[in-house]
Amino acid sequence: MADRKQFQNVPAPDPELMRLLEATAGHVLTEAEMREQRISFAYGNALDSESITKESVRLACENIMLLR
């Protein structure tokens, strides 16, 4: 099969990034890490709003109960 142009001349991956990925490959997230990921995600999606701060998202997360 012919090589696709989009995959030609692809630069080699950054060795430092690859080292970090390999070092964290088996890491299982804790509940605290998952909570911070949720807060970061919510805050990142609300960046256009001047009234929302990371702390306000953190406080809101404490008061919202998700159904599982």
Name the more confident of 3 and 30. Answer: 30
Judge whether 39 and 63 are in contact, CB under 8 Å.
Answer: no
In the numeric block, which tokens belong to residue 47?
């960046």
Judge whether 58 and 39 are in contact, CB under 8 Å.
Answer: yes
Q: pLDDT tens digit string along 10-25?
A: 889 999 999 999 999 9
In the numeric block, which tokens belong to residue 11?
């630069």
Domain positions in the chain: 28-68
Nearest to 39 by CA among 68, 64, 6: 64
Cα distance between residue 24 and residue 6, in whole Å: 29
What would you report as the CA-atom Rg of the chain, rounded to the nearest whole angstrom?
19
Overall pTM > 0.75: no
